[in-house]
Amino acid sequence: MTLPLAQFIPQGADYVRILPELVLSVFGIVIMLLDPLVDEEKSQKTLGLIGLAGAVAGLLATWYMAQSPGLAFSDMVRVNRFSVFFHALVIAIAAVIILSSFEYMAVQRIRAGEYYALILFSVVGMGLMSSAVELVLIFIALEISSISTYILAGFRRNEAASSESSLKYFLLGSFATAFFLYGVAMMFGATGSTNVETISRTLQGGSVPFLVYVGTALMLVGLGFKVAAAPLHVWTPDVYEGAPAPVVGFMSTAPKAVAFAVLLRIVFTVNEPGRFWLIWVAAALSMTLGNLGALVQTNVKRLLAYSSIAHAGYLLVAFAMTTSENSANGISAAMFYTAAYAAMNVGAFAVISHFANAGEKYVTLEDYEGLGRSSPLLAATLTVFLLSLIGIPMTGGFFAKFYVFSAALRANLVWLTLIGVVNSAIGAYYYLRIIVVMYMREARREVPVTPIPLGLGLALAISLVATIYLGILPNRVLDYAQQSALEVLPQRTTSSPASAPPPTALNQGP
């Protein structure tokens, strides 16, 4: 069929719908350009501040973008509450990470302006992932974000562990994205389209070709790797252990959040058949293996790596919904979970990166002994994050788990819920161990605790406020997530024909 060329020429509105990505790219490029020009000693802070300004500008751009929802770039990008939610989330994470990186970079003597640029570029990819409704674009966005994180993981250049981490992440990650791409190809073969919404309509309409099942499984493998869900989780502990602490805080939250966003789109918008048991098993396995693995860890970074596997498992519980009514609950629960998890995990890693000191010397449980006495404030802050990770009331982590399990029970997933709640009780043990060593043991050796600098203090304060806010007044975020959930679900009425009219006509005003 022949289409008028005019349809492919982007309008102004199209650019508005990728405004955050544009803004972030510009700031990233500015940092790259300035890096060789400014003095190496003093440049770090300046470049970091530009990065921070970029993130703030990105947030503003997100707000501006949110005013004009709709499709853009020939139906490849869809701006709605769902994508705005994840844009805001990942950019906020990036801002907090940049804040907590100032001190870390100085202490570790890492001089590289591109660090901040890479964070911004990675966020560009993530933003695009959350708004893309075209599988190929999702793949490209995934690569943009992944490649940046591969490099970030290796930023402690003098450490073998960091290079190992980077290489491992890169090799396995590329392997996994290949799976994803293969799945996309299968989907295209089966349905003749790579557009998520078109595929959804095709599948709703008639019989399901066998290739769809294969494609679904392959795409789940690729994304399962990104979110570190069992049995594709093996890379996580090694990579997290070697990578710089603030980067771990970043990559355990932001890329995961958007990978879950893509998963939400693929699982619920496409609404493929035959995914239920895949997700059920992955969820149960992730929760169990993650928690059991964490029980025996003595390195705090490894411990939180296993914990992140377990949390991926809790999150996946929300994906095991089949009817559309339950799915809306599942989607909003998952969205809330990603936000709550981001708040507490970024915070926890901010504490760890401050405490680790030069060369990340102090990252074992033993080093945390007596922290409650030597630095009550730092210990109390970490305690709040850990309690949130356990899921104690008054913290975001509690409501996150609560919504997920509540949605699961509504969908009658009694066994999965039981596995989940038992797991979260087991999980309490290893988080508690950190609290125990901080408060209940005396320090056996001297561990220097430096005062908290402004940037880090700000990062901690933001994470802390977010964690507690989500634990006491979860309403607003949840409402927003619930409204977004309806946008992710496939539209029952075929509102738009296959060849879409100009994007502006499709506004789904807020």
Partner 1 sequence: MNDNLSPYILTLVTFMPLAGGLLLVLLPRRDRDIRIFSLVVSLLTFVLSLHLPVHFHRAQAGFQFEVNNQWITSPNIHYHMGIDGISLWLVVLTTFLTPLCVLISWKSVHDRVKEFFILLLILETALIGVFTSLDLFLFYFFWEATLIPMALLIGVFGHERKVYAAVKFFMYTMIASVFMLAAILWLYAQTGSFDFVLIRDQIIQGKVANFPAAAQWLFLGFFLAFAVKVPLFPFHTWLPDAHVEAPTAGSVLLAGVLLKMGTYGMLRFNLGLFPEQSRHNAPWIMILALIGIIYGALVALVQPNMKKLIAYSSVSHLGFVVLGIFSFTQLGLDGAVFVMLAHGISTGGLFMLAGILHERRHTYEIGEYGGLASPMPVYAATYLVIVLASVGLPLLNGFVGEFLVLSGAFQKRAVYGVLAATGVIWSAGYLLWMYQRVFYGKVTHEVNNSLDDMGGFERAAVWPCAVAALVMGIAPILWLGAIDPGVQAALAAPAHLAAKVVGQ
Residues of this chain, 394-453, that bind partner 1 according to CB under 8 A? 394, 398, 402-403, 405-406, 409-410, 414, 417-418, 421-422, 424-426, 428-429, 432-433, 435-436, 439-441
**CB nearer to partner 1: pick between 43 and 424:** 424
Q: Using CA atoms, how far apart are residues 319 and 331, in angstroms rounded to an integer? A: 7
Burial class (CB in 10 A: 0-12, 13-18, 19+), 363: buried
**CB nearer to partner 1: pick between 171 and 414:** 414
Q: Using CA atoms, how far apart are residues 120 and 94, in angstroms rounded to an integer? A: 7
**CB nearer to partner 1: pick between 92 and 437:** 437
CB of 317 to partner 1, least distance (A): 12
CB of 297 to partner 1, least distance (A): 16
Position among 281, 392, 443, 506 found at the interface with partner 1 (CB under 8 A): 392
* Per-position b or e across 286-314, b if 16+ CB within 10 A of its CB: bbbbbbebbeebeebbbbbbbbbbbbbbb
CB of 479 to partner 1, least distance (A): 7
CB of 460 to partner 1, least distance (A): 16
Coil, strand, or helix at residue 342? helix
Residue 163 found at the interface with partner 1 (CB under 8 A): no
CB of 387 to partner 1, least distance (A): 7
Q: Using CA atoms, how far apart are residues 414 and 404, in angstroms rounded to an integer? A: 12
Q: Could you give the dihedral angle defined by the CA atoms of residues 219, 173, 430 and 402, in that order, rounded to the nearest 10 degrees?
A: -30
Burial class (CB in 10 A: 0-12, 13-18, 19+), 397: buried
Residues of this chain, 450-489, that bind partner 1 according to CB under 8 A? 473-475, 478-479, 482
Tell me the C-alpha to C-alpha distance, in Å, between residue 184 and each of 124, 178, 220: 22, 10, 11
Coil, strand, or helix at residue 323? coil
CA angle 320, 324, 326 (to 5 degrees): 55
CB of 370 to partner 1, least distance (A): 12
Q: What number of other Cβ atoms are within 10 A of residue 273's Cβ? A: 12
**CB nearer to partner 1: pick between 350 and 435:** 435
CB of 463 to partner 1, least distance (A): 19
Q: What number of other Cβ atoms are within 10 A of residue 172's Cβ? A: 16
**CB nearer to partner 1: pick between 348 and 387:** 387
* Cβ(319)–Cβ(420) below 8 Å: no
CB of 162 to partner 1, least distance (A): 34
**CB nearer to partner 1: pick between 93 and 384:** 384
Cα distance between the two ends of the chain = 34
Tokens of 207: 């019989």
**CB nearer to partner 1: pick between 284 and 435:** 435
Dihedral sign for Cα 121, 123, 129, 131, please.
negative
Q: Using CA atoms, how far apart are residues 292 and 279, in angstroms rounded to an integer? A: 20
Burial class (CB in 10 A: 0-12, 13-18, 19+), 41: exposed
CB of 377 to partner 1, least distance (A): 10
**CB nearer to partner 1: pick between 47 and 413:** 413
Place of tokens 């161990």: 433
Q: How many residues bind partner 1 (CB under 8 A)?
A: 37
**CB nearer to partner 1: pick between 157 and 476:** 476
Residues 360-379: x where in contact with partner 1 by CB under 8 A, - otherwise, as a string: ------------xx--x---
CB of 311 to partner 1, least distance (A): 16
Residues 323-362: x where in contact with partner 1 by CB under 8 A, - otherwise, as a string: ----------------------------------------
**CB nearer to partner 1: pick between 438 and 466:** 438
* Cβ(102)–Cβ(456) below 8 Å: yes
* Cβ(389)–Cβ(431) below 8 Å: yes
What is the distance, to the nearest Å, from the Cα of residue 69 to the centroid of all Cα atoms in its chain?
23
CA angle 428, 433, 439 (to 5 degrees): 120
**CB nearer to partner 1: pick between 111 and 441:** 441
**CB nearer to partner 1: pick between 443 and 506:** 443
**CB nearer to partner 1: pick between 111 and 410:** 410
CB of 290 to partner 1, least distance (A): 17
Amino acid at the residue 432? L
CB of 473 to partner 1, least distance (A): 8
Cα Rg of the chain (Å, integer)? 22
Residues of this chain, 174-193, that bind partner 1 according to CB under 8 A? none
Site of interaction with partner 1 (CB under 8 A): 372-373, 376, 387, 392-394, 398, 402-403, 405-406, 409-410, 414, 417-418, 421-422, 424-426, 428-429, 432-433, 435-436, 439-441, 473-475, 478-479, 482
